[in-house]
Chains A and B, each alone.
Chain A
Amino acid sequence: MLTDGFKERFSGFITLRRNFFRSVIIATLLPIWVTMFPLGSTLAGAAEPQHDLTDLSLEELMDLDVFSVNVLGTHTHLEDEWMLGYQYMFMSMDGNRNGTQKISDQDVLKDFMVAPTNMTTQMHMIGVMHGLSDDLTLMVMLPYIKKSMDHITKAGGRFTTDSEGPGDLKLSATYTFYGNVKRDAFHATPWGPHRLLLDIGLSIPTGSIDEKDFLANPTMGKKQLPYPMQLGSGTFDLSPGMTYLGQSENWAWMAEAVITSRLGKNSNNYRLGNLYHISSWLARKVTDALSLFIEMDGDILENIEGADPALNPTLVPTADPGRRGGKSVDLSVGVNIYLPADEVNKGHRIVIEGGFPLYDSLDGPQLNMAWMLNVGWAWTF
């Protein structure tokens, strides 16, 4: 017993040390990341007061953008401005976790007939944004989702399930209620403008919640797939949020909080858990054509209320509505590339972002994220 207690304490110590060292590594890398850019700014940004714009013609000056640092995510457009965007997201989930502890497939199979081993999600998102006025921006976005999940059975058999199709259509309106992206905001502080945005999103259930595929025994035909393999929520979801945006000549920074609340139950007698999301990023312009950013996201997801009668929660943990919630913190870094401004490429931007989890505490067993990649293109006209 004493030995078991010691092991438990020792294991706690190891986890603490692992978390601590992970924090130390990142806390070390962050200042390096930030302190590297004053060097970059000496080469590019800070040297700009001496940047000889007086050599430019009037026509060239009229082609320069005043606001040049921003990233994908909650943002606004000026009146009459349109943005067409495409985003590809790949997320890999690998291995199971219960609470903060990683657990093996065999641990999962002690309580279930089937254990999920890994999952990939690919999302193609097409979105359009339009500035109705300088203060009000509307957005429509439709994702096309492809999911694949590998499993292992108690008997050692392996099988994969797939689902694919459009996800839920998202509409949103973003209103600037404090600050002005135009000139007045520049006079507020030497740091540049500060803005507060109110965001209201509505998700329309265009994604399927009846995805089926062959399970371990294909002779039984296609069966209803568990919750994480479905493509939509099946409910109208409301997402009110608030965003703070700051910007100086070479920096942009953001913090936001969004709550996704499910309205009612879907046709399969359940509703996904509410999602509480906070996020912040810091972007640094390196040159007029390049900016880098670091982003941190925190999520609290509640468990599912109700249950799909076509699913057996004792078979696989992904079919258990009480094992979908959890807390997570993810960190990602990325780069924005602005294509050189000319008559053809005016307003084109490419964003590439990679992320990994810093912290997960899941109502498991649940698959946990291993890494994600995000590639986006946006054309403002």
Chain B
Amino acid sequence: MFLTQTVTAIRSRRIRLKAGFVSSLILFIAVCTLAVAPMSVRGQTPREYQIKAAFIHNFVKFIEWPAHTFPEKTSPVILCIIGKDPFGAVLESMMGGKTIKGRGMVIRRFERIEDLGHCHILFVSSSERGSLTQILVALQGLSLLTIGEMDAFAESGGIINFILKRSRIRFEINVDAAALSGLKISSKLLSLATVVRNTPHTGSE
């Protein structure tokens, strides 16, 4: 009898211990599952690219393209993206239906530089880091605002480069590259940028 009672007591204690562990384990799994499930379903676009899209929208206000690059006064500004597009649907949702200086915005995406059509702005995705030099060489002489987000983009001849500083977005402008492309950049935009030149010295913010 004593043995039976002891075994019952041990079993009962094991059940209690197991129940506690099992309930805690279920909760851990529940939290982990719930942590992952919403993300995989939603696939959200990071906030970074909403801000960058708004920057690009603003740049158009402060940059002048040669008149010949627009067939008409109301011709749209054509924003092209080359390489893996990090913006997702952000560009269309933020810029669709809006006008800047009386012009709409058209967005086009290209995989390769050889396929590039007529553009006013070219966003070079960081997926194209390996072929950056070829891309910039191919664009020489075109009145095209090149925008990138990789180290040494501006020093290599790109015009505007996004950089992250303490969780905030800043940008560099290569004024020599802009001049070669025939683009006029307002002093207001330059005053907010880190000025970069083709010659190896940099200006200040």
Contact = CB atoms under 8 A, between A and B. Distances in A.
Interface string A53-76: 110111101111111100000000
A345 interface: no
Interface in B1-37: 1-2, 4-5, 8-9, 11-13, 15-17, 19-21, 23-24, 26-28, 30-32, 34-36
Contact of B28 (A48, A65, A280): A280
Contacts of A31: 34
Contacts of B49: 186
B34 A30 contact: yes
A54 B98 contact: yes
Contact of B167 (A9, A66, A251, A253): A66
Contacts of B24: 298, 329, 358-359
A282 B34 contact: yes
Nearest to A78: B166
B95 interface: yes
A255 B32 CA distance: 9
A190 interface: yes
A275 interface: no
B121 to A, nearest CB: 15
Interface in B57-73: 57-58, 62
Interface string B34-62: 11101110111111111101110110001
A56 B32 contact: no
B84 A8 contact: no
> What is the interface residue range for chain A against chain B?
35 or more
Interface string A8-39: 11011001100110110011001100100110
A172 to B, nearest CB: 21
Contacts of A16: 15-16, 19
Nearest to B25: A329
B95 A66 contact: no
B94 interface: yes
Given A186-B46, A191-B43, A5 B4 contact: yes
B96 to A, nearest CB: 10
Given A22-B23, A54-B57, A62-B192, A192 B51 contact: no
Contacts of B168: 62-66
B113 to A, nearest CB: 20
A120 interface: no
> Chain B CB within 10 Å — which of A62, A80, A99 has the most?
A62
A187 B86 contact: yes
Interface in A266-287: 280, 282
Contacts of B44: 45-46, 190-192, 248-250
What does DSSP make chain B's interface, helix, strand, loop or mixed? helix
Interface string B141-161: 000000001000000000000
A20 B23 contact: yes
A296 interface: yes
A155 interface: no
Given A1-B5, A54-B57, A78-B166, A361 B17 contact: yes
A229 interface: no
Given A53-B53, A186-B46, A15 B28 contact: no
Interface of A: 1, 4-5, 8-9, 11-12, 15-16, 19-20, 22-23, 26-27, 30-31, 34, 37-38, 45-46, 48-54, 56-59, 61-68, 78-81, 99-101, 182-184, 186-187, 190-192, 246, 248-251, 253, 255, 280, 282, 294, 296, 298, 329, 331, 358-359, 361
24 contacts: A1-B1, A9-B12, A12-B16, A16-B15, A19-B19, A23-B26, A27-B27, A30-B27, A30-B31, A49-B89, A52-B94, A53-B94, A56-B58, A65-B167, A65-B168, A68-B47, A184-B126, A186-B49, A186-B86, A187-B127, A248-B42, A329-B24, A331-B27, A358-B24
Interface of B: 1-2, 4-5, 8-9, 11-13, 15-17, 19-21, 23-24, 26-28, 30-32, 34-36, 38-40, 42-51, 53-55, 57-58, 62, 84, 86, 89-90, 93-95, 98, 126-127, 149, 164-170, 188-189, 192
